[in-house]
Structure 1
Amino acid sequence: MNIVVQWVRIYWTKDSRGGPGAVRRSALPEAFPLPEAEPPFVHEVLMLERDDFSPSMTVTSGLPPETKVELTEADGHLHILPVRDPPEWASNGLDLAWRPAAVTMRPRQTLRWQLNHRFTIERGWCYRLDTLNVSCGHRTAEVFLHPPTHRVDERSHL
């Protein structure tokens, strides 16, 4: 099964939390066109407030480590469950005992799963939004630019 994973991670501080900064940050893309690469691969996009949210991209061959996302193939289906991986000093405001179930995808389906975190730093708070995009068996450069087949929103009010 051809699996393509795209992680979009956005980091910001209180400077972009409210007002014009929040409007700008909220307009950042949840997905990007995929680079030319042979599946399976992971396309990571990082946008930092300190870099004016300019996207920085990397591509890694293979699947993400199981410590980041559980990807299980069975009977022609793909089961996906992101691992909550913030440092122990981070908080996402969610009940850690509750988690959505893994998403089961068939070939030619896509998933968008979002989760946010709040970190304590020297100067106050830092925030991160993780968007995990997964394509199962269908790969075009624009696959994640269309509405996903499955969507899980695990974001909380921080």
Structure 2
Amino acid sequence: MDVIVQRVRTTWSKRSRGFPRATARNAAPTAFALPCGHTPLFHDVTMGEEDDFEPRVSAMCEAPPRHEFGLRLVGSALRVRLPNGFGVPVRSHRPVVLLQPGEWVRWQLNNRWSSATGMGDWRYTLTTVSIALGPMPSETFLGEAPHVIDEKAVLR
């Protein structure tokens, strides 16, 4: 499958919800240049409050996990439907995107969660997933996406 997936995930706690820590969190990028334009590629970037939002990068020249990104080939197109993430809010009606070769989508969602017992402080995540069908220049995801799905919700 000639697909490129970049997942950028930023995680924080209540400590980074207000000034001055929110400034550093809000400055965290939601897209990066690709390490290569080859396919397949799974480019995973995580940034967390505990590392002062410094990016940690992983790149694998292999197909991304289909179950994590809801990817399925339909003829020469790629059907994308992100599964529900971990935490709240739960999104009941998830959109579906059909990418033709040379197209890409930027998908953003956020969540909050607590410990398994519900006794811990809230944690928050902003996830930006960019998915392209076919080889792309390394700067592709830094530009404006032809398809944008914004599922960000107000988090308490």
- Greater strand share, 1 or 2? 1
Show the counterpart of 2:33. 33
What does residue 13 of structure 1 align with?
A: 13
- TM-score (normalizing by structure 1): 0.87
Taking the aligned partners of 1:75 and 1:36, their CA distance within structure 2 comes to 26
CA distance in 2, matches of 1:40, 1:66: 12
Matching residue's letter, 2:7? W
Take 1:97 and 1:126, find their aligned partners in 2: how far apart are those partners?
21
Conserved 8 A contact 1:135-1:143: no
Question: How far apart are the structure 2 equivalents of 1:97 and 1:76?
Answer: 28
Which residue, 111, 120, 124 being the options, matches 2:121? 124
Is 1:137 matched up with 2:131?
no
- Per-residue CA deviation, residues 87-114 of structure 1 (Å, 9 max, x unaligned), is xxx22x24x43222x1011121111001
Equivalenced residue count is 152
| Superposed structure 1 runs of 4+ greater than 6 Å apart | none
After superposing the two structures, state which structure 1 stretch, 76-85 or 5-14, moved more: 76-85
Equivalent of residue 98 in structure 1, options 77, 93, 97: 93
> Which SS does the other structure have where 1:112 is aligned?
strand
User: Where in structure 2 are there 5+ consecutive unaligned residues?
Assistant: none
SS at match of 1:82: coil
How far does residue 37 in structure 1 lie from its aligned partner after superposition? 6.4
AA matched with 1:60: M
Share of identical aligned residues, percent?
Answer: 36
Specify the SS of the correspondent of 1:24. helix
Unmatched 5+ stretches in structure 1 = none
Q: Residue deviations 1:98-155, cap 9 Å, x none?
A: 222x101112111100111101146511101111011112411101000011000111
Q: Aligned AA for 1:3?
A: V
Q: Which whole-Å CA distance do the structure 2 matches of 1:82 and 1:8 have between them? A: 14
